[in-house]
């Protein structure tokens, strides 16, 4: 399957992984949780216990007004949706989601609120 892998503090990358639950769990580092934030036939797969494990915060999810409604912790995947299983992303979705998550984000707690800031190239650890 062609998927997008999004790691904390890194830009997204396209990766070919075997289909199946074991490979999906290996990529996210735990039991997968599927999120369906878009009308497109695509999903976010993340470790369902990443926040409990203290995994680093990765990217914010925003609603249609740009307001943050959740933050994903740890590495996550963006996959396509087949009739019964997760599937490869098509080229249009790869480009859309690579652009959506292109800039890594950092998270700062200020006065009891989490503020999300884009990381520039100088902030990135690679």
**Range 96-112 average pLDDT:** 95
Whether 119 shows a pLDDT value over 60: the answer reads yes
∠ CA 39-19-7 to the nearest 5 degrees? 65
Q: Tell which residue, 65, 109, 125, 108, has the closest CA to residue 117.
A: 108
Q: What pLDDT does residue 87 have?
A: 96
Q: Please, what is the average pLDDT of the chain? A: 93
Task: Report residue 125's pLDDT band, with 50, 70 and 90 as the boundaries.
Answer: low
Q: Model pTM?
A: 0.91
What is the distance between the terminal CA atoms of the chain, rounded to a whole angstrom? 26
């Amino acid at each position: 399957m062609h998927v997008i892998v999004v790691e904390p503090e890194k830009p997204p990358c396209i990766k070919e992984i075997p289909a199946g639950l074991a490979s999906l769990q290996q990529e996210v580092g735990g039991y997968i949780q599927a999120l369906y934030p878009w009308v497109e036939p695509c999903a976010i797969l993340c470790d369902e216990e990443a926040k409990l494990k203290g995994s680093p915060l990765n990217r914010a999810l925003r609603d249609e007004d740009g307001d943050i409604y959740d933050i994903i912790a740890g590495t996550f995947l963006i996959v396509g949706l087949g009739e019964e299983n997760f599937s490869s992303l098509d080229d249009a979705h790869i480009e859309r989601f690579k652009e959506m998550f292109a800039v890594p984000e950092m998270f700062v707690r200020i006065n009891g609120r989490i503020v999300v800031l884009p990381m520039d190239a100088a902030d990135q650890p690679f």
